[in-house]
Amino acid sequence: MLSLDSEQLHLEMKSFTEMVKIAKNYSKQSEEDEFVSSEVADSGAKRSELVGLADELRRIKTSLTTWMTDQLCVASIEGMAGIVVMVAGILSKAEKTVEYWNEVAEKRNSVFKDAYENIYEVLYPSYKNLPQHLKMYFLYMGIFPENYHIPISKLFRLWVAEGFLRISQTKVYEIMTVEWLEELVSRSIIIIPQRGSNYRFKTCKLHSAFWYLCIREAGSKKFPHIMNNYSDGFAEGIKDQRRLCIHNGVLFGIKDVYESMASVSALRSLLCTGPPHPYPVPVCFELRLLRVLDALAIRFYEFPAEALKLVHLRYLALTCNGSLPASISLLRSICFLIIRCHLSLRPPGEWLYLPNEIWDMQELVHLQIMGGNLPNPNGSVLENLLTLSDLNTRSCRKEVLEGVPRLKKLGIQIELEPDTDAAEPFSCFDLP
């Protein structure tokens, strides 16, 4: 993919190796400091200050070499030799002073950001030459943070909910999705860090350099708008966005940013894909045209009643405790309903009981309720439901299974003896 002159590569890697040696030799430099300190002691210099300098040099050396090793391992594993070459070029031209290395050690990824800027022009043709449909799927992956392992199943569900794929041909598009991902793998744009037992794709992730390109291109095309800091909430053209992706849940708690997000009246998708936020924050339920709301990373103590006003929702994913209200059936367009709960707030053995009205939600394709207990259907049938996941064993009754005749996948969750160290209950019977 990258066309590199062999002699240039050799020279760049040689100079990069020299930079690494400089960092590793800081410990030797500290010994020289001790020698200098003995010579200048007679002139009244304080030995403690020189010892402090030596300690600082050792700290910089340790921090810098650890960081560089980690970054280079990632770049090498992902096959992005060009990034290594770019970093080598930047470092070889840098001023070789303690102040510079200290700046690199403190800012951590500044050098790699410069390298990504430099390599953007090299990688752009790979993106430009993609078929149009692959460009759309590639840009959509920018909703996930860098180095995020994206579950293929979640990606597929989001694409269906967004309207990229038709539900009526779900199985066909599952096969096509894998084929499209294989094509992106063959072009070295994404990698497959995890496969299932049958060697099928389980997760995928963008190469680091292509993630940077993805974010940059997605921003210029407003597909989608990524929000990671305060200034992102006031970016030019934000009111015209149709998709907002929140990588930092704290932003919901900042009044100015919240109001800016809530004012995007044409918004169709609100995706919170950053790390889980430990405390409740307000979410923009005023956005009445939303079709996709993924707020698994946001904590709710109970199911938010405001969500019931989002009647256009096709995809709803929340983390909350407490039972679902009977009025959940007001969301008649829902195809994908995913509810997780906080185990630390739920007493052992207490299950989430679902209302009878769940059987009125005829558009459901995927129902995933952590520890949920489905009531008897009383003759009702969910014709379109293909996946039942994370339910408790009490839901495995003849009456319930007769109400889901097209079921393709069943996942049952079993809670063992209380274990304070366990992150989640034991799950099994994840049957296709």
What are the tens digits of pLDDT across the range 293-343? Answer: 999 999 898 899 999 999 999 999 999 887 899 999 999 999 999 998 876
Question: How far is it, in rounded angstroms, from Cα 174 to Cα 161?
Answer: 14
Sign (positive or negative) of CA dihedral 73, 78, 81, 85: negative
Query: In Å, how far are 53, 64, 170, 202, 423 from 56, measured between CA atoms?
Result: 5, 12, 59, 45, 39
Question: How far is it, in rounded angstroms, from Cα 53 to Cα 102?
Answer: 12
Q: What's the whole-model pTM score? A: 0.74
**Helix, strand or coil, per DSSP, at residue 220:** helix
Tokens of 208: 């680091």
Considering only 182-196, 303-317, 395-409, which range has the smallest mean pLDDT? 182-196
Query: In Å, how far are 110, 150, 237, 353, 401 from 374, measured between CA atoms?
Result: 51, 29, 45, 7, 10
Question: How far is it, in rounded angstroms, from Cα 408 to Cα 389?
Answer: 11
Question: What is the tens place of the pLDDT at every residue in 106-153?
Answer: 554 466 666 667 777 778 888 888 988 889 889 999 999 988 999 988
Region of 84 (left: φ > 0; alpha: ψ -120 to 50; beta: rest) is: alpha
Task: Catalogue all structural domains in the chain, each as residue range(s) with its CATH number.
Answer: 6-124 (no CATH), 130-206 (1.10.10), 208-431 (3.80.10.10)
Question: How far is it, in rounded angstroms, from Cα 251 to Cα 380?
Answer: 42
Query: In Å, how far are 130, 347, 373, 414 from 342, measured between CA atoms?
Result: 42, 10, 17, 16
Question: What is the tens place of the pLDDT at every residue in 19-67?
Answer: 445 444 544 444 444 444 444 444 444 555 555 556 666 665 565 555 5
